[in-house]
Structure 1
Amino acid sequence: MIYCLNPSCEKPLNSDTTFCQNCGTQLIPQLRNRYRIIQPLGGGGFGRTFLAEDEDKLNEHCVVKQLAPQVQGTTALLKATELFQEEARRLQQLGEHPHIPTLYAYFRHDNYLYLVQQFILGQTLRQELRQQGTFSEEKIWKLLSELLPILKFIHEHQVIHRDIKPENIIRRSLREDLVLIDFGVAKQLTATSLEQTGTTIGSFGYAPIEQMKYGSAYPASDLFSLGVTCFNLLTGIHPSGLYMEQGYSWVMHWRQHLKSPLSPQLVQVLDKLLQKDIEHRYQSADEVLQDLPQKPQPASIPRDFSLPQPPSRINLRQLVFPSTVLQPRIQLKHKLLGASVILLLGLSVYAHWQSLGHIPTLTGHLNEVNSLAFNPSGKTLASGSDDKTIKLWNRNNRQQIRTFKGHSDKVYTVAINPDGQTLVSGSLDNTIKVWNLNTGKEILTLKGHTALVHSVAISPNGQNIVSGSYDNTIKVWNLSTGQQIRTLKAHSGEVLSIAISPHGDKIVSASGDQTIKVWNFNTGKEIRTLNKHLADVNALAISPDGQLLVSASDDKTVNVWNLNTGNHIRTLTGHSADVNAVAFSPDGEKIATGSDDSTVRIWNLSTGQEVHTFKGHTREVFAVAFSPDGKTLVSGSKDKTIKIWQLP
């Protein structure tokens, strides 16, 4: 099989032919007569990543990154090209290191740029956190002892990573050691660069103040990000939510979020890593290594460079913005009318591409698409429709797998169990149905609501269903038996949306009575009512760490709340009509919304800024969902289609 490298090709997998059977592009069996593409690994916007085989190395696996599409004259793409080249330079500069991907090649072919690097088999610490839960103190000490020598190495080679976070650290499958990846945002620190202006970048919550606010980065900047990474792995709390609500003051109170006590020694180390002011932090990886209980002896590395040290105190008048190295997925901050505006380069280029009509679309429903849900692996997608059916789709080849038939009226809501085995749906026929996801067979029908079921959610442990109905009630059910456990009554209007907190301790409901209610999951007692919207509240979503709640309304706004305190954080405005759907990205940093204005919008929660508008639907958008890997967004519409948007 040969993979078509045309970025707009919707069916790129071909048999051994000369031209793509879908788009007509000439196929390339091997890049440079050496690298054979096997399958896509992800990407979006103008950057795509593939798993490939290197024929010159006995078909050893490698990673191929493609810069695409090539739209000449586009400022964003010109910048992207520069950044793509800089990533290759940084990897080449660092040479071969057992805990950093090695650069194999960098070249242009048919007007596309390619970067080939070492393939690291394993999973990121973000994935490990989701699968195994929060880290113990012992695992944090081990992480520090492994990562600090890597940071020592790159800092001594005058490179600052600038994006240390769990997503960029892979635990290798076979050796179980750590590998630091994603050097697309790395910055070369030289005396000359300190005199040049540049762009501030980083991940909100992880990046220190001197990096995000002033554009400066030092070894101590990476060490701050390392401290935040440890905090995230210890608590499971994503720092972007804390940053958004409290700014950098959250680091002074990080200990209050701990689920279990830590040793005084680890507290002391993390305290010093998490200092807001750079002069109070550790200044080098060596300093931190000296404070570890069992001091590891990193491999001796010759000092080829002498890093500039940060000023003892930051003088705002003397600050400059150093030149930077970015990767397409990273947010680029510009100054516009005195405000910082976040732009996603990948999205801007993808916007150009999709404006030409190249939007992957799933068609098959005979009426409007009301609800969407990915299975836990992200390989399949379920959709519920006014045509009374639920369809299951293969995400990769975009083919329909099966159709679930059983409801006697419109299907308004679908949800998939965390175990990936069962699907739950709610309908205008007043019932909830439980289906075997793998066979399409109906398992149970739950009856009890006296009006249409508009929303269903499944508890994180997979044992319960919570449903919201136009009969103004919320019901809790046993998923295995179908038995009704309790009914929650307090709303004076129809219940339009239901969400369950990631820890399974809270139910949140939204209603046509313009209110949001928070309930104790175990007792059914109402905890509080949130009032801010001026019309029906149509949709809810809770952040992956359980800290934030977002709500969408017919008043054309989206509100952001602290779920645990009920405090209103901010209101997002931009849609020109009713907002019907909202979803959190898996990293908790962004949300997507769908509206009667036919658009899908992405928002940066840390800034409250709208970062992109996707246009392609011809009617109202009723559903949005992120894939579990965060690389794909899907939307369902009254135009009977499901659109697939690739994200950077």
Structure 2
Amino acid sequence: MNDTLALLQKFNAHPDSRCWYVAWNPKGTLLASCGGDRTIRIWGREGDSWECKTVLQDGHQRTVRKVAWSPCGNYLASASFDATTCIWKKKNDDFECLTVLEGHENEVKCVAWAPSGNLLATCSRDKSVWIWEVDEENEYECVSVVNSHTQDVKHVVWHPTQELLASCSYDNNVCVYKEEDDDWECRATLEGHTSTVWGLTFDPSGQRLASCSDDCTVKIWKECQPEEGTGAAWKCVCTLSGFHGRTVYDIAWCPLMGALATACGDDGVRVFKEDETADPDQPAFSLSAHVPKAHTQDVNCIAWHPKEAGLLVSCSDNGEIAVWNYQSGV
């Protein structure tokens, strides 16, 4: 098996500050990054390298923790430690701040768009998850506040095709939400990690959810038939342990190849491959590729390109972004 993870480019994206997160636009033509310098940077490909196209620096007063593109690619949402979420509208090669969403008591840790583009989710250190509805006039209204976690909520992610939302927290749990009678409620609480859960990713079909944690493990959860009257049911079908030396901060399921990539506090980037001959109810993953010193400091985020199989980016506490090419020998 000749699986490789080759470095294509590495560049300083946020000098003298952490680069917290990177996100591809839906077409894969632009990459947004955000950092401790309170800016969002938009990167575009020029030949074989990535160049900064624009810097958004007037939206936030503190660290920008996460960014997310709308499914249509015309809007970018940014979540900040200043307790606000900004919505930016793309205008040709520039962006303008359309609106600022307020209401969380303190740091907003993540923002994510539903696949329809009509809903937005935010989560915060205030232990809450907010669901926002977007109308045709680009007006945003908070339609639900869910308080299912007992600690800081780190991440929110939507199911790839359904209006189903998952969140993870400092309380070691994962919660899954669905709308019921015009209100959003927690339908399942996934317990199993023994420390903070930092990141979540659905597989391309949405039938499984992967979580990564401060306990140095990755868990794969599968939706299963619930008992009558008990609502949604998810069970842990696989735990990847012994691969990571420190906290696993982020995880991403490749939409094109099915590979699973992780970003780790031990400075490493890893790619795991699933054994396709294994029982779907007892999946098996093997470490396919590993770059031990992908960055010189903690790796905060990992993101697969939506259109080019094997193209992967990571970002780090040292402000760098690295672009990788993963190739599977199978």
Distance 2:163 2:75 in 1: 22
Mapped pair 1:401 → 2:8: yes
Give secondary structure in 2 for the equivalent of 1:631: coil
Match of 1:441 among 29, 51, 74: 51
2:128 alignment partner in structure 1: 515
- Tell whether the 8 Å contact from 2:163 to 2:178 is kept in structure 1 after alignment: yes
Distance 1:437 1:641 in 2: 25
Distance 1:642 1:619 in 2: 12
Q: Deviations over 1:450-472 (max 9, x none)?
A: 10000100011111110000000
1:624 alignment partner in structure 2: 251
2:202 alignment partner in structure 1: 584
Distance 1:605 1:555 in 2: 22
Give secondary structure in 2 for the equivalent of 1:643: strand
Give secondary structure in 2 for the equivalent of 1:486: strand
Distance 1:524 1:518 in 2: 10
CA-atom RMSD in angstroms: 1.3
1:640 alignment partner in structure 2: 267
How many Å apart are 1:494 and its aligned residue?
0.3
How many Å apart are 1:547 and its aligned residue?
2.2
Change (3 A) 1:478 1:404: farther
- Tell whether the 8 Å contact from 2:13 to 2:19 is kept in structure 1 after alignment: no
Following superposition of structure 1 onto structure 2, how do residues 251-290 of structure 1 map, counting pairs within 5 Å?
none
Distance 2:234 2:60 in 1: 38
Distance 2:8 2:25 in 1: 18
2:34 alignment partner in structure 1: 426
Q: Deviations over 1:170-195 (max 9, x none)?
A: xxxxxxxxxxxxxxxxxxxxxxxxxx
Match of 1:506 among 98, 102, 119: 119
- Tell whether the 8 Å contact from 1:411 to 1:428 is kept in structure 2 after alignment: yes
How many Å apart are 1:630 and its aligned residue?
5.4
| AA in 2 matched with 1:497 | C
Following superposition of structure 1 onto structure 2, how do residues 46-195 of structure 1 map, counting pairs within 5 Å?
none
Distance 2:41 2:145 in 1: 30
- Tell whether the 8 Å contact from 1:561 to 1:567 is kept in structure 2 after alignment: yes
| AA in 2 matched with 1:467 | S
2:78 alignment partner in structure 1: 467
Consecutive aligned runs of 4 or more in structure 1 exceeding 2 Å deviation: none
Following superposition of structure 1 onto structure 2, how do residues 352-501 of structure 1 map, counting pairs within 5 Å?
397-408=4-15, 409-437=17-45, 439-447=49-57, 448-479=59-90, 480-501=93-114
How many Å apart are 1:403 and its aligned residue?
1.8
| AA in 2 matched with 1:446 | L
- Tell whether the 8 Å contact from 1:550 to 1:560 is kept in structure 2 after alignment: yes
How many Å apart are 1:545 and its aligned residue?
1.5
Distance 1:442 1:557 in 2: 37
Q: Deviations over 1:361-400 (max 9, x none)?
A: xxxxxxxxxxxxxxxxxxxxxxxxxxxxxxxxxxxx4111
How many Å apart are 1:498 and its aligned residue?
0.7
Q: Which has the larger radius of gyration?
A: 1
Match of 2:239 among 610, 613, 629: 613
Change (3 A) 1:467 1:563: farther
- Tell whether the 8 Å contact from 1:546 to 1:563 is kept in structure 2 after alignment: no
Q: Deviations over 1:12-66 (max 9, x none)?
A: xxxxxxxxxxxxxxxxxxxxxxxxxxxxxxxxxxxxxxxxxxxxxxxxxxxxxxx
Larger strand proportion of the pair = 2
Mapped pair 1:597 → 2:215: yes
| AA in 2 matched with 1:544 | P
Distance 2:187 2:13 in 1: 42
| AA in 1 matched with 2:215 | D
Q: Which runs of no fewer than 5 residues in structure 2 stay unpaired?
A: 225-232, 277-330
Distance 1:463 1:400 in 2: 30
- Tell whether the 8 Å contact from 2:263 to 2:270 is kept in structure 1 after alignment: yes
Distance 1:516 1:567 in 2: 10
Distance 1:645 1:630 in 2: 11
Q: How many residues align?
A: 255
- Tell whether the 8 Å contact from 2:203 to 2:258 is kept in structure 1 after alignment: no
Larger helix proportion of the pair = 1
Change (3 A) 1:412 1:563: farther
Distance 2:45 2:129 in 1: 31
| AA in 1 matched with 2:176 | V
Distance 1:474 1:404 in 2: 27
The percentage of aligned residue pairs carrying the same residue is: 29
- Tell whether the 8 Å contact from 1:420 to 1:437 is kept in structure 2 after alignment: no
1:72 alignment partner in structure 2: none
2:142 alignment partner in structure 1: 526
How many Å apart are 1:482 and its aligned residue?
1.8
How many Å apart are 1:563 and its aligned residue?
4.7
Following superposition of structure 1 onto structure 2, how do residues 213-224 of structure 1 map, counting pairs within 5 Å?
none
Give secondary structure in 1 for the equivalent of 2:184: coil
Distance 1:434 1:548 in 2: 29
Distance 1:608 1:624 in 2: 19
- Tell whether the 8 Å contact from 2:115 to 2:163 is kept in structure 1 after alignment: no
- Tell whether the 8 Å contact from 1:445 to 1:482 is kept in structure 2 after alignment: no
Q: Deviations over 1:57-90 (max 9, x none)?
A: xxxxxxxxxxxxxxxxxxxxxxxxxxxxxxxxxx
How many Å apart are 1:546 and its aligned residue?
2.8
Distance 1:539 1:582 in 2: 7
- Tell whether the 8 Å contact from 1:543 to 1:549 is kept in structure 2 after alignment: yes
- Tell whether the 8 Å contact from 1:585 to 1:630 is kept in structure 2 after alignment: no
Distance 1:432 1:485 in 2: 15
Distance 2:45 2:266 in 1: 26
- Tell whether the 8 Å contact from 1:520 to 1:526 is kept in structure 2 after alignment: yes
TM-score normalised over the length of structure 2: 0.75
TM-score normalised over the length of structure 1: 0.39
How many Å apart are 1:406 and its aligned residue?
3.4
Match of 1:538 among 130, 134, 154: 154
How many Å apart are 1:629 and its aligned residue?
2.9
